[in-house]
């Protein structure tokens, strides 16, 4: 059976809206309403990766919009549970900034930041709503210590980045100073370095963590349900997706999906922010992009899945 996996990163603003506005139903909120319509129309399942709190740097409300998960009420708990078969919430990071938060994170630091998000989600949405089967960490790269902590916490699989790893003496001038500083801050593991990140929608140098798979392994699992089992820590690494909908035009979305339409697995995602009109990079065709991708999957007999269905 052909399957697809769909996720949304950087979620926190819709939870703030729910906490402040207290609509009768979760799905009175236009963001969640969109995804429920996609589920009802196409059988879509979605994993929403959650921040613990907002950050004023990207938030249209700035400091005045400060919000954390501890402020999210549990009055919708039964509704979260009723929809947990298609709508899952998962850990992403503390906040949108700083970039690359896990590149040199310690075991204990990861335990803390993950547990805080998990515990709040379970409090307001219930155990069934929290996803352990697959993690899409903010900026993807995670240290060895961080990976070990996630395995201990029950995470079964995680994004595996791939691409040519640069030599230690490589020219890193094309990488921002801030990202180089993140790389070098508390760097103790050789696995934390730089690779050539190339997908359908991006071609650049990026930082890598322990969760990096070889090009040969990527070719083995690309377009399939296969994954790499790291016996050292007991974690599965998977090249989760090839592109983000918000980085593509509608025409590119159609093109990229049709290129892989005969494969048994396709993964794609996007980010919450682009849904909001007040966001500086607002995309008015956000909903159209989502429906275009999901409709193509449905028309070509792909089943929408969470990772516990394919591991």
Rounded Cα gap, residues 273 and 257, in angstroms: 23
Bond preceding residue 98 cis, omega within 30 of 0: yes
Q: What is the pLDDT of residue 206?
A: 94
Instruction: State the total domains in the chain.
Output: 1
Q: What is the pLDDT of residue 200?
A: 72
Owning domain of residue 264: 3-309
Burial of 197 (0-12, 13-18, 19+ CB in 10 A): middle
Q: Tokens in use for 310?
A: 């394919």
Q: What is the pLDDT of residue 128?
A: 98
Which residues contact residue 166 at a Cβ distance below 8 angstroms, ignoring those fewer than 6 apart? 172, 193, 194, 195, 196, 205
Q: In which residue ranges of the chain is pLDDT below 70? A: none
Whether 8 contacts 289, CB under 8 Å: no
| CA-to-CA separations, 220 to 61, 186, 215, 264, 311, in angstroms, rounded | 45, 34, 9, 13, 16
- β-pairing verdict for 193-199 and 202-208: antiparallel
Q: Which CATH number do you get for residue 110?
A: 3.20.20.370
Q: What is the pLDDT of residue 202?
A: 79
Rounded Cα gap, residues 269 and 45, in angstroms: 12
Rounded Cα gap, residues 75 and 162, in angstroms: 42
Rounded Cα gap, residues 68 and 177, in angstroms: 29
Q: What is the pLDDT of residue 237?
A: 99
């Amino acid at each position: 059976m052909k399957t697809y996996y769909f996720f949304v990163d950087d979620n926190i603003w819709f939870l703030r809206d729910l906490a402040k506005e207290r609509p009768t139903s979760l799905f009175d909120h236009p963001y969640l309403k969109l995804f429920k319509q996609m589920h009802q129309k196409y059988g879509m399942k979605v994993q929403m990766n959650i921040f613990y709190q907002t950050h004023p740097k990207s938030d249209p409300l700035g400091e005045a919009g400060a919000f954390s998960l501890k402020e999210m009420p549990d009055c919708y708990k039964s509704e979260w549970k009723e929809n947990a078969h298609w709508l899952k919430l998962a850990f992403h990071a503390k906040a949108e900034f700083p970039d690359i938060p896990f590149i040199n994170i310690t075991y204990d630091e990861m335990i803390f930041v993950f547990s805080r998000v998990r515990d709040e989600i379970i409090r307001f949405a219930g155990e069934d709503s929290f996803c352990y089967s697959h993690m899409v960490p903010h900026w993807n790269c995670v240290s060895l210590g961080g990976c070990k902590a996630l395995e201990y916490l029950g995470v079964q699989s995680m994004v595996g980045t791939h691409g040519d790893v640069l030599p230690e003496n490589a020219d890193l001038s094309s990488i921002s100073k801030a990202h180089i500083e993140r790389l070098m801050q508390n760097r103790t593991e050789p696995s934390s370095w730089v690779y050539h990140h190339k997908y359908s929608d991006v071609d650049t140098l990026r930082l890598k963590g322990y969760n990096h798979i070889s090009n040969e392994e990527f070719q083995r699992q690309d377009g399939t349900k296969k994954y790499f089992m790291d016996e050292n820590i007991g974690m599965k690494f998977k090249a989760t997706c090839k592109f983000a909908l918000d980085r593509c035009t509608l025409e590119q979305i159609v093109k990229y999906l049709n290129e892989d339409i005969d494969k048994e697995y396709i993964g794609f995602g996007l980010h919450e922010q682009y849904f909001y009109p007040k966001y500086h990079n607002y995309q008015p065709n956000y909903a159209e992009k989502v429906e275009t991708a999901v409709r193509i999957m449905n028309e070509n007999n792909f089943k929408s899945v969470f990772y516990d269905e394919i591991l």
